[in-house]
Each structure stands twice: as C-alpha cells, then as structure tokens.
Amino acid sequence: MVSSEYIDYYAVLNIPQHATVDEIRRAYRRKVMDCHPDLFPDNPEKIRLFDTVKEAYETLTHPQKKEIYLQERWRRKANGFALQGAGFSSLEYLKQCLALNRQLAAIDAYRISEQQIFRQLNYLLSEEKITALLEVKDSLMLRSVLEALIPCTRGLSFQYVRVISSAFIQLAGDDAEMKEKISRLISEKKRERRASVWKVPLILLLTILLCLLIYWI
C-alpha cells in the first residue's frame, strides 16, 4: 500500500525543482542554521527537522538518488497523493498566528467578513495542528499561540467563537490565566449576541414612539 505522505524535499529546502547543485547546497546551509543539533541539543523537534533537511540535501545532490526520488515524486503527484513538507514546526506555526494577529490589528476587523476571519482561524486551529502543537509540550509556546489568536476573534460573533473556543480550551490545558481569558471571551460574545437580539425591536419601538410624538405635536 502506498503511503499518502511523502516528503517534498524541494519544499523542505525551500527551492524550486530546477535548482542547481550550488543552489541546493546554499539552501541546505541556510536551513541547518535553524535546526542543527549542536545549536538545539535539547529540542527533539529541531533534531527531527535537521534529519529531514540532511536527507533532502543528500538525495537532491546525488544523481542516482535524485533520479529515483523524482520518478517517485512524479508518480505520486500523478496519482493524487500529497507531498508533505518538513513536517510540523511549532515556530513556523506561531509565526502564522502572529501574522494573522498583525493583519487584523492593522485594519478594522469589523470591515472584514466573519467568514473570512473564521476560515483563517479554523485553518490554524485544525485538529491535526492542535494535536501536533500539544505533542511539542511547550507551555510557553501554547500561551503565545493563544495570546496571538484570541484577539483575532474581535470581529466574530458568538456562533463562530463557540466553534473555535474548544480548540482554545485544548491549548490552554492547565493554564488558569488563559482559561479565564477564554471564559471572558465567550461571556463577552454571549452578551453581544443578546444585545443584537434586542437591537432591532428596540429601534422599531423607538421609531414608533417618535412617529407618535410627531403625530401628537
């Protein structure tokens, strides 16, 4: 049985398929600076990434290995199998969260469609990403992710926040401060929903009273 997961060595090194040997070598040197075991001896995630980067370099710079790899790569793409990158990186994931936070902070979140914001958050909070992030077991990383993503819900209504709050709660774990912040978020969105329910009838009532007042004057 063919595995649906296959590492895309070009994505690992962040290079195009037509890259030369020198370009592959330079990309490899840049990449190992972010994950070399000598620099991150106590980080299993970095060590796994280094092994993948090294494997990518050795394969793409060896003519016979590269030819076999490209044949298998083409066959998998032709049959609809996904090509995976270097695996999950909590640091890269946090960068994506911070990028979304900056994007929404730079503009009026209420002028963006809720669906668009929800789709971006839902993508970042997918089950597989949450599982991979929890496996890293880095409480500081989890808190940083929550602090980046919770403000992104500013333009969302309760119905959307209710969906993604379960992922927030998973990430919070035993962090009492983060759990309290999530609880306040949910309560705030509930109040906003109740206020919106009464908003239309209240406006209608005020309109009727104003019309009556004008009529009797």
Per-residue pLDDT of 72-88, as tens digits, reads 777 766 665 545 555 56
* pLDDT averaged over every residue in the chain: 82
Question: What confidence category does residue 184 fall into, taking pLDDT thresholds of 50, 70 and 90?
Answer: very high
For the residues 183-200, what does the mean pLDDT come to?
Answer: 81
Instruction: Classify 137 in phi/psi space as left (phi over 0), alpha (psi -120 to 50) or beta.
Output: left
pLDDT of residue 21: 92
Q: Which residues pair with 7 in a beta bridge?
A: 84
Distance, CA of 151 to chain centre: 14
The pTM assigned to this predicted structure is 0.54
Residue 44: C-alpha distances to residues 12, 50, 89, 104 (Å): 17, 10, 11, 33
Q: Which residue has the higher pLDDT, 59 or 123?
A: 59
Sorted by where each begins, the domain ranges of the chain are 9-78, 90-187
Which class does domain 9-78 fall in? mainly alpha
* Whether residue 186 has pLDDT greater than 90: yes
